[in-house]
Structure 1
């Protein structure tokens, strides 16, 4: 995230109301505000400091540099130039379902409840299944994160409670440790697109 111009090897994905675009240096400040919001970070171990938020932004850019995809900035034209992120990334820990590519999102609370996450995530899934030809994409979150679980279901992702898992980066006794795993395969997504 060294300048304000899009990188040519990073995708620009458009929905009816949303734009998923490459990161700019100017995104760091609003991104830090999102990561510092206790409401946004309710289902994560803790809000992030500015230092930790910038470190996360650096890791996202490294993922783009290495793989050509990652969590894009969610731009809602006319509403917010940086309402959070939505995108794809390689799962960075070992679990029964890895290696895998996950779809994830983190939106400013002001952007909740308006369908932006679902619309943007659909753009990212389309890119993952068509441009990247991924066979499957997963998503996961703590059991109490009902909003994100609802987005996963609206995207057509499916959950088997037998695949619930303890997140390896959290202590087993942590209240957020148990996670639901959702999956969608490429052929399922393509079938949904035909409807």
Structure 2
């Protein structure tokens, strides 16, 4: 089982019976989901489908979204990990990084800590040499995380609704 320990977090595979209720609560929050996918909150059933899809990606791709657990309490803080985006066209088929954390975990450095560990995993464990990301132009919090990771802006989606970022992991300072 793939696990990554950081000073404050455990990044691990999903345990549907244990994680579903907490993930569903996180993804039901419109503020959390505002810049993810179509921006709509997710139901319990949709969250179950997400966990199932992420676990299938782990099995098929050798990477996926980790469950992010607080080491001190065992509480599920959210999800962070790697995925293969299908849009926008400029990054479709590349390997991307994304995250979503419960609102009560914002502003504490958890997203940066988990995303940094994910980039190290991508390079060291999976041999991935380039990672892409997207963010909405008004999502300054995610833009700060991307900056801390060393990800550079590479343009925007044709409709201007997403900013594109990338990092060459051979230059990543893990």
* TM-score (norm. length: structure 1): 0.82
Partner of 1:27: 19
Matching residue of 2:100: 106
Map Cα deviations across residues 126-178 of structure 1 (whole Å, 9 max, x no partner). Answer: 01011111120011121111111110001110003xx2004xxxxx6xxxx61
Residue segments in structure 2 that go unaligned for 5+ positions in a row: none
Assess if the C-alpha contact under 8 Å between 1:43 and 1:144 holds in 2.
no
- Partner of 1:130, secondary structure, is helix
Note the alpha carbon deviations across 1:70-116, whole angstroms, 9 max, x for none.
Answer: 00000111245211001111123461233210111000011110101
Distance 1:68 1:13, change over 3 A: same
Distance 1:66 1:123 in 2: 21
Q: Give the direction of change, closer, same or farther, for the CA distance of 1:90–1:143 in structure 2 (3 Å limit).
A: same
| Alpha-carbon distance, 1:51 to partner | 1.5
Aligned to 1:148: 142
Query: C-alpha root-mean-square deviation of aligned residues, in Å?
Result: 1.5
Q: Which runs of 4+ in 1 moved over 4 A?
A: none
Q: Which residues of structure 1 form unaligned runs of 5+?
A: 1-7, 167-171
Spell out the pairing of 1:172-191 with structure 2 (5 A cutoff).
178-189=161-172
Instruction: Indicate how the Cα distance of structure 1 residues 26 and 55 shifts in structure 2: closer, same or farther if over 3 A, else same.
Output: same
Alignment of 1:88-107 (within 5 A): 88-93=82-87, 95-107=89-101
Q: Distance in 2 between matches of 1:140 and 1:89?
A: 12
* Partner Cα distance (1:140, 1:36) in 2: 21
TM-score normalized by structure 2? 0.92
Q: How many residue pairs get matched?
A: 171
Q: 1:1-195 counterparts in 2 under 5 A?
A: 8=1, 11-24=2-15, 25-44=17-36, 45-93=39-87, 95-160=89-154, 163-166=155-158, 178-189=161-172, 192-193=173-174
Whether contact under 8 Å (2:85, 2:91) holds in the other structure is no
Looking at structure 2, the residues matched to 104 and 96 of structure 1 have their Cα atoms a distance apart, in angstroms, of: 16
Check the 8 A contact 2:67/2:79 in 1, yes or no.
yes
Which has more radius of gyration? 1
Q: Which moved more, 1:37-46 or 1:26-35?
A: 37-46
